[in-house]
Amino acid sequence: APVIVFERVSKTYQKGTPAINNISFQIRKGEFVFIVGSSGSGKSTLIKLILKEIEPTNGKIYVNFKDLTRMRHRQVAKYRRGIGVVFQNFRLLKDRNVYENVAFAQRVIEVPGSTIRRQVPFMLSLMGLLDKQKSLPTELSGGEQQRVALARALVNNPVILLADEPTGNLDPKNSWEIMKLLEDINKRGTTVVVVTHNKEIVDKMQKRVITMNKGILISDEQRGGYSHAY
């Protein structure tokens, strides 16, 4: 079943050339997809459209069978909570320890305390962070911070995980560790969408690759590599 559907979607910010131009694709439940393309090709715009942070100028977007363009304003926050997101710069709460950073994602949606006390340690153990529960983000390496961000993104069991340049601030060793975790997460059933510039990772992983260039989807390959088209 498709979990993300773009039907002839365009987005033009002001007057001028569209950031995204007439894009159509489907991502099915359980897929692992890379979105690649040079800077300015429209990748972030794609992510923002999926999160309903911006509206398309034309076309239709469906996520989990919901028509995003027709979604009520008051449903948006709840909708976004169904999507796990991680970013290049981790975006952790700096004054809270690792446990609290993950628990916070559950507290805001009023998950019962007993469930939090069960699920947070479980997620931290999956990410190899049990011994870091009481550390502050500043006491962690970049790779560890990204694993905390992943634990936080996943603790509420989202159908989709969006990762926007998740290895952009990591060295090769930590980058591979994060990619292996994303692969594990995907094997457990979560649909994973990764925006990246990391050619080496994309080429080695042999996953589906959607390539953007100047707002146009120029290729969509099932076991692709980083395109040579730019």
The contact set with ligand ADP (CB under 6 A) reads 13, 19, 37, 39-45, 135, 139-144
Q: Which is nearer to ligand ADP, 172 or 189 (CB)?
A: 172
Q: In the complex, what is the shortest distance from the CB of residue 125 to ligand ADP, in angstroms, rounded to a whole number? A: 16
d(CA 113, CA 161) in angstroms, rounded, equals 24
Q: Which is nearer to ligand ADP, 30 or 168 (CB)?
A: 168
Q: Which is nearer to ligand ADP, 134 or 187 (CB)?
A: 134
Q: In the complex, what is the shortest distance from the CB of residue 14 to ligand ADP, in angstroms, rounded to a whole number? A: 6
* Residue 167 near residue 90 (C-beta atoms within 8 A): no
Q: In the complex, what is the shortest distance from the CB of residue 122 to ligand ADP, in angstroms, rounded to a whole number? A: 21
Q: Which is nearer to ligand ADP, 40 or 189 (CB)?
A: 40
d(CA 174, CA 121) in angstroms, rounded, equals 22
Q: In the complex, what is the shortest distance from the CB of residue 29 to ligand ADP, in angstroms, rounded to a whole number? A: 25
d(CA 14, CA 4) in angstroms, rounded, equals 26
Please, which residues have CB within 8 angstroms of residue 218's CB and are 6 or more apart in sequence? 211, 212, 227, 229
Backbone angles phi, psi at 216, to 5 degrees: -110, 140
